[in-house]
């Protein structure tokens, strides 16, 4: 079992009692027992994937903080989960002393992860989305574990409906000219991600 205390915390989650309380709340949310993929392991992986990309962000600290919030609310409702996670950031972060402008940026970035769609040149969003999608380039065994965990999170959806929905998502990925918005992300993950996605789609 991994140790959630090892999660790297942004400064605003360590520098005050309110920040430390918020970090504990977020860690508890990520550790909820109904989660299968969107767990503390996923958060840790996203935070790690941000680091090789961080120099390309306009505000890497906001990106890291958005990672902490991006699936803090997770009930398996795409779009709704991200919106509620963004609202959580907006309601909790001011008490930690975070400037209003950065709070707005964190919430904006959380909302971007709903569709991984953003304007060209939005490098904060590109870094966060690339890190969130880095799992697509995992080695075969890790990718298979990811695929199974996603299915378990949607275990309430019948097989036929899940396959149709998942195939639509995968085709959407393959239809993009670029899966990753940063040059480093493309160098690290683009080729392998496309291979994994194509293989999963062929198996549906």
Is residue 51 one of the residues assigned to a domain? yes
Question: What's the CA gap between 32 and 73, in Å, rounded?
Answer: 10
Is residue 102 one of the residues assigned to a domain? yes
Is residue 1 one of the residues assigned to a domain? no
Q: What does the block give as tokens for 176?
A: 């993009």
What integer pLDDT is reported at residue 160 of this predicted model? 97
What integer pLDDT is reported at residue 2 of this predicted model? 40
Q: Could you identify the residue written with the tokens 């906001």?
A: 62
Over residues 143-178, the pLDDT tens digits come to 999 999 999 999 999 999 999 999 999 999 999 999
If you average pLDDT over residues 106-123, what whole number do you get? 97
If you average pLDDT over residues 182-194, what whole number do you get? 98
Label residue 15 by pLDDT band (50, 70, 90).
confident
The DSSP call for residue 62 is H
Q: Could you identify the residue written with the tokens 């890190």?
A: 131
Q: What does the block give as tokens for 167?
A: 């195939």
Is residue 65 one of the residues assigned to a domain? yes
What integer pLDDT is reported at residue 1 of this predicted model? 34
Burial of residue 36 (CB within 10 Å: 0-12, 13-18, 19+) is middle
Is residue 25 one of the residues assigned to a domain? yes
What percent of the chain is modeled with pLDDT above 70? 98
User: pTM score > 0.75 for this model?
Assistant: yes
Of residues 148 and 11, the one with the higher pLDDT is 148
* Averaged pLDDT of the chain: 94
Number of folded domains in the chain?
Answer: 1
The DSSP call for residue 156 is T
Q: Could you list the residue range(s) of the whole structural domain that residue 146 is in?
A: 7-203
Is residue 2 one of the residues assigned to a domain? no
CATH number of the domain enclosing 176? 1.10.1300.10
Question: What's the CA gap between 184 and 203, in Å, rounded?
Answer: 29
Is residue 139 one of the residues assigned to a domain? yes
What integer pLDDT is reported at residue 11 of this predicted model? 87
Residue 165 neighbours by CB under 8 Å, 6+ apart: 157
What integer pLDDT is reported at residue 118 of this predicted model? 96
Per-residue pLDDT for 79 more than 90? no
């Amino acid at each position: 079992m991994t140790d959630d205390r090892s999660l790297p915390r942004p400064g605003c989650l360590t520098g005050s009692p309110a920040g430390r309380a918020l970090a504990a709340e977020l860690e508890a949310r990520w550790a909820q027992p109904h989660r299968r993929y969107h767990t503390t392991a996923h958060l840790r992986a996203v935070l790690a994937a941000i680091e090789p990309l961080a120099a390309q962000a306009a505000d890497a600290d906001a990106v890291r903080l958005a990672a902490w919030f991006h699936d803090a609310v997770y009930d398996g409702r795409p779009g709704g989960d991200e919106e509620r996670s963004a609202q959580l950031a907006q309601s909790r972060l001011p008490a930690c002393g975070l400037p209003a402008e950065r709070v707005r940026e964190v919430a904006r970035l959380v909302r971007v992860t709903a569709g991984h769609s953003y304007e060209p040149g939005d490098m904060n969003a590109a870094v966060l989305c690339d890190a969130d999608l880095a799992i697509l380039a995992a080695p075969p065994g890790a990718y298979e574990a990811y695929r199974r965990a996603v299915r378990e999170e949607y275990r309430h959806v019948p097989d036929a409906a899940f396959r149709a929905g998942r195939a639509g998502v995968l085709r959407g990925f393959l239809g993009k000219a670029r899966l990753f918005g940063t040059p480093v992300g493309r160098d690290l993950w683009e080729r392998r991600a496309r291979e994994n996605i194509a293989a999963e789609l062929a198996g549906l």
